Amino acid sequence: MRNPAKLLQLKKQYEAFTARHPKFMRYLAYITDNCMTDGTVMDVTVTDAAGKSIHGNAKLTAEDVVFLQEVRKMLSGE
């Protein structure tokens, strides 16, 4: 069962994140709307403050694409 208080907390954190990083969120929205199809490979590298990089990737299935689109809709209030 969902915890409504936790959902409200996450919504506030999401809004604060989007306020701090508006270009990043628009970038993710663009990717979700225009680039994700069955077989798309998401390739991500994250570098921490000390300069250590971690890399990973995933080849998306049609189900993955639908899931990511639904998560985006939920977060954006669509």
pLDDT tens per residue across span 35-77: 899 999 999 999 999 999 999 999 999 999 999 888 888 777 6
Q: How many domains does the chain have?
A: 1
Positive or negative, the CA dihedral 28, 30, 36, 41 is negative
* Residue 47 to residue 33: CA distance in whole angstroms: 26
What residue type is 39 in one-letter code? Answer: G
The residue range of the domain holding 39 is 4-76
Q: What is the pLDDT of residues 5-20, one digit of tens each?
A: 887 888 889 889 989 9
Q: What is the pLDDT of residues 20-40, one digit of tens each?
A: 998 988 888 888 888 899 999
Q: Which two tokens stand for residue 24?
A: 């990043």
pTM to 2 decimal places: 0.68
